[in-house]
């Protein structure tokens, strides 16, 4: 049974992720793009007469079912079939996070950072609240995220999506090098 | 009822993200520091798989299961593609999650990420609120 609990190598996970694009198209011209669900939820719950949220969000309700499924997939992969071993990180990453007393333990996320009581700390607040806010703000500004631009847009050979993908990688690389170490040291 | 099939596809997608460790904060740090091939391997197999299958579908004039012509996604350039994506990259480095993994992390038992998802909704809403003051 061990093989069910083991993490999937990149050459298994990657193609399955990629096949989602043609499958959704074949199922009814649906476009894989997860940041759209954030817009949909805003439109459904707090439209507040904002033009961005004045559209027929119900037409895309399939996407809400899709992300409900993503959450279930997270439960299946992260709880039911949870890897009993820590993520097999490279030695240099383990050494990097150890500088900030972040344990490299079992689980996909460091439990010492992503816990409810951490929301009361500046570090936890920046990681979860500021981080989440920037993800929501930036992806809507760019009209797409890793799935919509990075996977779908690049699969369809759309050059604006290549620009988006380079930009969010550049943002992540610069932030990780220049700013994140100061936040993790808090 | 016809929407439930998308939940099933989402579940397989979420399972691949999770078992592939693409929702792991650790893996995202490692990726942005270029310390492992793992995450790049995922992108470098996912995108050609999508591109090749889309090319084949177009080449064979495939129709949807309901017989409609396929509409391949198009993305237009606007300045927000660069500005917004840079901002999103900062958030990705902090949370270790792009939008899909936010949902998957909650499912994987990190209930506090509900706050991250609410913050992402607040971010999207705030963008909508101030969109007319921002360069497109």
Tell me the DSSP string of chain B: -TTHHHHHHHHHHHHHHHHTTTT-HHHHHHHHTT--SHHHHHHHHHHHHHHHHHHHHHHTT-B-TTSPBP--------THHHHHHHHHHHHHHHHS--HHHHHHHHHTT-TTHHHHHHHHHHHHHHHHHHGGGS--
Cα dihedral A116/B117/A44/A76 (nearest 10) = -90
Last residue of a domain, one of A82, A106, A141: A82
Q: What is the pLDDT of residue A82?
A: 97
| Average confidence (pLDDT) over B32-55 | 97
CB-nearest partner of A135 from B51, B110, B123: B123
Residue to test with chain B: of A39, A130, A140, A177, most B Cβ within 10 A? A140
For chain A, percent of residues with pLDDT exceeding 70 = 100
| Average confidence (pLDDT) over B1-30 | 96
CB-nearest partner of A141 from B23, B32, B83: B83
Last residue of a domain, one of A36, A63, A82: A82
In which domain, by residue range, is B93 found? 4-133
A-chain CB neighbours of B93 within 8 Å are: 131, 171-172, 175-176, 180
Q: What is the pLDDT of residue B6?
A: 97
Same domain, A69 and A120: no
Cα dihedral A76/A80/A86/A89 (nearest 10) = -20
User: Distance from A60 to chain B by nearest Cα, in Å?
Assistant: 10
- A-B CB pairs within 8 A amount to 516
| Average confidence (pLDDT) over A43-63 | 95
Is the pTM for the entire model greater than 0.95? yes
Same domain, A76 and A128: no
Domain assignment present for residue A108? The answer is no
Same domain, A61 and A122: no
Q: What is the pLDDT of residue B20?
A: 98
pLDDT digits (tens, 9 = 90+) for A147-171: 999 999 999 999 999 999 999 999 9
Between CA B44 and CA B77 the distance in angstroms is 23
Contacts of B91 (CB under 8 A, 6+ apart): A130, A131, A132, A133, A134, A135, A136, A137, A138, B120, B123
pLDDT digits (tens, 9 = 90+) for A73-103: 999 999 999 999 999 999 999 999 999 999 9
pLDDT digits (tens, 9 = 90+) for B50-67: 999 999 999 999 999 999
pLDDT greater than 80 at residue A1? no
Domain assignment present for residue A9? The answer is yes
pLDDT greater than 80 at residue A64? yes
Same domain, A2 and A73: yes
pLDDT digits (tens, 9 = 90+) for B59-100: 999 999 999 999 988 999 999 999 999 999 999 999 999 999
Q: Which residue of A has its CA nearest to B8?
A: A69
| Average confidence (pLDDT) over B102-126 | 98
CB-nearest partner of A28 from B64, B93, B100: B64
Same domain, A61 and A130: no
In which domain, by residue range, is A33 found? 1-82
User: Distance from B61 to chain A by nearest Cα, in Å?
Assistant: 12
pLDDT greater than 70 at residue B1? no
* B62 to A183: CB separation less than 8 angstroms, yes or no: no
CB neighbours of residue A177 within 10 Å: 12
Residue to test with chain A: of B54, B67, B100, B126, most A Cβ within 10 A? B100
Domain assignment present for residue A186? The answer is yes
Q: What is the pLDDT of residue A86?
A: 96
Return mean pLDDT, chain B. Answer: 96
Residue to test with chain B: of A30, A87, A112, A133, most B Cβ within 10 A? A133
- Enter the ipTM: 0.96
* A20 to B9: CB separation less than 8 angstroms, yes or no: yes
A-chain CB neighbours of B106 within 8 Å are: 71, 74
Alpha helices in A77-158 (DSSP H): 91-98, 122-125, 131-141, 154-155
pLDDT digits (tens, 9 = 90+) for A36-45: 999 999 999 9
Residue A104, chain B, CB below 8 Å: the answer is yes
Q: What is the pLDDT of residue B2?
A: 85
For chain B, the domain total comes to 1
Same domain, A75 and A139: no
For chain A, the domain total comes to 2
| Average confidence (pLDDT) over A118-136 | 97
Last residue of a domain, one of A66, A82, A98: A82
Domain assignment present for residue A148? The answer is yes
């Amino acid at each position: 049974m061990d093989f069910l609990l083991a993490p999937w190598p990149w050459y298994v996970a990657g193609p399955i992720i990629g096949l989602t694009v043609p499958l959704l198209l074949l199922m009814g011209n649906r476009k894989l793009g997860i940041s759209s669900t954030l817009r949909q939820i805003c439109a459904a719950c707090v439209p507040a007469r904002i033009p961005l949220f004045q559209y027929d969000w119900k037409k895309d309700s399939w996407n809400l079912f899709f992300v409900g499924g993503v959450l279930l997939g997270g439960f299946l992969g992260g709880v039911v079939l949870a890897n009993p071993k820590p993520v097999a990180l490279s030695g240099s990453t383990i050494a990097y996070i150890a500088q900030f007393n972040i344990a490299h333990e079992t689980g996909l996320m460091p439990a010492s950072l992503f816990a409810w009581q951490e929301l009361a700390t500046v570090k936890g607040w920046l990681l979860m609240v500021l981080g989440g806010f920037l993800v929501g703000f930036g992806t809507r500004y760019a009209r797409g995220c890793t799935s919509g631009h990075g996977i779908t847009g690049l699969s369809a050979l759309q050059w604006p999506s290549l620009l988006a993908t380079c930009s969010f990688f550049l943002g992540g690389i610069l932030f990780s090098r220049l700013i994140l170490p100061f936040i993790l040291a808090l | 009822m016809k929407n439930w099939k998308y939940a099933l596809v989402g579940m397989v997608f979420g399972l691949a993200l999770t078992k592939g460790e693409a929702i792991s904060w650790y893996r995202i740090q490692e990726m942005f520091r270029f310390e492992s091939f793992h995450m790049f391997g995922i992108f470098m197999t996912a995108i050609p798989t999508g591109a090749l299958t889309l090319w084949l579908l177009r080449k064979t004039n495939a129709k949807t299961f309901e017989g409609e012509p396929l509409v391949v996604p198009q993305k237009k350039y606007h300045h927000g593609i660069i500005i917004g994506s840079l901002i999103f990259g900062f958030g990705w480095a902090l949370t270790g999650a792009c939008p899909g993994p936010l949902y998957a992390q909650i499912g994987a038992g990190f209930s506090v990420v509900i706050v991250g998802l609410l913050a992402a909704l607040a971010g999207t809403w705030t963008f909508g609120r101030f969109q007319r003051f921002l360069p497109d």
